Structure 1
Amino acid sequence: MPGLTQRILYIHPDINTLISSEKSCVIAFEKANAVVVLNANQSILKLMTFDTDNVPFAALSKCDFLPVYEAASGAEKVTVVCASEKETLIPDNLFDESMLASYINFNYGQLNGEMVLYDKIEGAGITQVYALPQHLYAYVKEAFPQAALRNRKSIMIELCRNLNEKSKSGFVFVKEGQFDICVFAYKKLLLCNTFSYPSAQDFIYYLMHTLKQLNCDPDTMPLYLYGTIEEESAVYSYIIKYIRHVSFLKKPENIILGATEVPYHYYYDLFTV
C-alpha cells in the first residue's frame, strides 16, 4: 500500500516567530487527497497537500495517516472537513435525527457500513446529511478527538450564502472531473448539485442546463468560481464564452497569506473555516 506524498505549497517566512502563537488547523479530506492549512492569528503558517496516488483514504492503514497527524500537531483547534459521495439536504422542518440512515438509504441505496452524520447549515433552514467511510471516521475521532467535523458541501453553502447579494448568484467549486454548483437568490438556496464531467464540453453543458432550469440570465447573473480551475483551462474558456460576469473568489481580506504555488482560489473555502 503506497504512503502519502506531501507537497508544501506555502511556508510563512516568519514561521519560527509565529509558531508559539495559538494555532488552528483545517484538514480537508477528499477521496484520495488531503489539504492541511495551519493558521495563527489569521496568518497562514503552512499550506500543504497529501496525495495517495488515487488510493481512497478509506483504504489506507492508520500508519498511512501519520503525516497528516504530524502536520496538524500543536494546533489548539482542529477542524476536519470531509467530502462525501453520499449526501443529501433536508429542510429543517422535516429533519428528524433518528432518520439519518433512512435519508441516505432513500437516495443511494443500502449503507455499506458508513457512519451517517449531519451539519446544521447556519441561517439556511436546511441540514446536510452525509455518510463517511467508517475507517476514515474512526481515524479522525481517534487522531483528533476534540476536532469539529464538517462536510465540505455544508461549508460551501454557508460561505456562498453569505456572499450572495444580488437577486441571483451562482457559485461553482471545481475539482478534478467534478464540480459543485450552488445558486442563491437573496440568500435563499435555489439549487445545490454535483456533476461529474469527462470533458470541458460536458462541464459547460451541465452548467448552462442548470442555469436554464432556474431561469438564470447568463448575461446578468454573476458566477463565482473557486477550486482547481485556472484562466488557461478549457473549462474556463467555455465559461467566459457563455457567461458574461465571471470571477474567481478572492482570498478573504482578514487572512494573511504570501505568494503560494497555486492560486488563492484553489482553497478559498478552507481559508474561511
Structure 2
Amino acid sequence: MVLTSNDITQRNYKKLSIQVSLSGLSFCVFDTITNKILVHNSVSFKQNEVIDGQLWNAFIDNSILTKAYDEIIVLHENNINTFVPKPLFDINNIASYLQYNVKVFETDFFAFDELNNYEINNVYVPFVNVNNFLLDQFESFDYKNTNTLLVQKILDKSKNIDEKQVFVHLQENHFEIVVVRNQELLLFNSFEYNSPEDFIYYILFTFEQLQLNPETIRISLFGNISKEDSFYKIAYKFIRNCNVLDVSNQSKTHDVTEEDMLHHFILFNS
C-alpha cells in the first residue's frame, strides 16, 4: 500500500515497481534514499492460461510483493499506444488517437500519461484486468505505459545533441524504435519480429523513410541484447555507428550489473 501520512516514522523508504505484460511480469524494490535496487525478479506466464490466476500465483511465490511500500508503480507493457502533442490533445476524443494505429473496441478503456517537461501525451489502453487485480492487493498505486518511460528517458538523454539519434529497445518478439534530436521526438514505432533479418529490415526501412544515412547516424541498442548475439551483429553489419547503450553509470547507481540494467532498462528507470 501507499502510505499518505506525513509522519516520518511510518515511512519505510522503499518503492515497488511492477512491469506487467501478457507474457509475464518483472518487479524491483528500490531504496528511495540511496536509489539502489534491493531485489528484482521476473516471472513468466503460461500461454492460454488466465492472467489473473498467474498474477495470483506470482504474489504467492514472491511474498515481497505483499509488503508495505511508500510508493507503488505499475507499468503496462504493450504497444497499444500513440504519442500526441499536447496542443492537439483533447481528452473528450481520446479514443480517436489510436483508431488509425491499432484495432480498438468501444468497450476499451483509454488512459494517457504526460511526459514530464515535454509537450507530449502518451495515449494507450492499459490492462484493466491487471489493474483490477492489483486494486485488491494495494490501497493505491500509480500506473503508466512502459513506452512513456522509454521515450521520456531517451528524450532526456538527447539534451544538447543536435544531430539525429536512433534508439532501439529490443524485447521478446518485438522492439521499439525511437528517433530524437535535442529533446524533440521525431519518430516512435513498434515492430514484431521473428528473426534477426526481420529486425534489421524494419530498422533499415525506418532509416529509408526518414532519410537517415546508415553510414553516419548513431544507433544505440538496448533491452534483450548484447554484442555477442545475432541481433547486434546484423545491425553492426549494416550500420556503421552501432553500439550497445552505455548504462555503466546507471548500473553503479542502482547497484546492478550492466546486463540487468540493459535488460530491465524501463523497470529500473521507473
TM-score category (smaller protein) = 0.7 to 0.9
SS of the equivalent of 2:15 reads strand
Q: Identify the range of structure 1 (105-114 vs 229-238) with the bigger mean alpha-carbon deviation.
A: 105-114
Paired position in structure 2 for 1:268? 265
Flag the structure with higher strand content. Answer: 1
1:80 and 2:42 correspond: no
Question: In structure 2, how many angstroms separate the alpha carbons of the residues matched to 1:103 and 1:256?
Answer: 36
Paired position in structure 1 for 2:254? 256
Cα 1:92–1:254, aligned 2, differ >3 Å: closer, same or farther?
farther
Cα 1:173–1:263, aligned 2, differ >3 Å: closer, same or farther?
same
Q: Identify the range of structure 1 (251-260 vs 164-173) with the bigger mean alpha-carbon deviation.
A: 251-260
- Equivalent positions of 1:25-36 (< 5 A) are 25-36=16-27
CA apart distance, 1:140: 2.9
Match 2:147 to one of 137, 150, 153: 153
- Structure 2 gap ranges (5+): 1-10
Contact 1:115/1:137 (<8 A) preserved = no
1:170 and 2:166 correspond: yes
**For 1:221-243, what per-residue CA distance to the aligned partner results, in whole angstroms no more than 9, with x for missing partners?**
22112111122221111111111
1:42 and 2:42 correspond: no
**For 1:97-137, what per-residue CA distance to the aligned partner results, in whole angstroms no more than 9, with x for missing partners?**
12223333454344264321100112332211111232112
Cα 1:21–1:168, aligned 2, differ >3 Å: closer, same or farther?
same
- Equivalent positions of 1:1-273 (< 5 A) are 22-40=13-31, 41-55=34-48, 58=51, 60=53, 63-67=56-60, 70-72=63-65, 73-111=67-105, 113-164=107-158, 165-249=161-245, 250-251=247-248, 252=250, 255-259=253-257, 262-273=259-270
SS of the equivalent of 1:132 reads coil
Question: In structure 2, how many angstroms separate the alpha carbons of the residues matched to 1:263 and 1:62?
Answer: 23
Question: In structure 2, how many angstroms separate the alpha carbons of the residues matched to 1:134 and 1:259?
Answer: 33
CA apart distance, 1:62: 6.1
Percent identical pairs in the alignment equals 22
Contact 2:79/2:147 (<8 A) preserved = no
**For 1:201-220, what per-residue CA distance to the aligned partner results, in whole angstroms no more than 9, with x for missing partners?**
11101001101211222222
Q: Identify the range of structure 1 (54-63 vs 183-192) with the bigger mean alpha-carbon deviation.
A: 54-63
**Matched letter for residue 22 of structure 2:** K
Give the total of aligned pairs: 253
Moved over 4 A (4+): 55-59
Q: Identify the range of structure 1 (65-74 vs 46-55) with the bigger mean alpha-carbon deviation.
A: 65-74
Paired position in structure 2 for 1:11? none
Question: In structure 1, how many angstroms separate the alpha carbons of the residues matched to 2:229 and 2:264?
Answer: 18
Cα 1:265–1:204, aligned 2, differ >3 Å: closer, same or farther?
same
Cα 1:271–1:134, aligned 2, differ >3 Å: closer, same or farther?
closer
Question: In structure 2, how many angstroms separate the alpha carbons of the residues matched to 1:221 and 1:56?
Answer: 43
CA apart distance, 1:194: 0.3
Contact 1:173/1:180 (<8 A) preserved = yes
- Cα RMSD after superposing both structures: 2.4
SS of the equivalent of 1:114 reads coil
**Matched letter for residue 253 of structure 2:** I
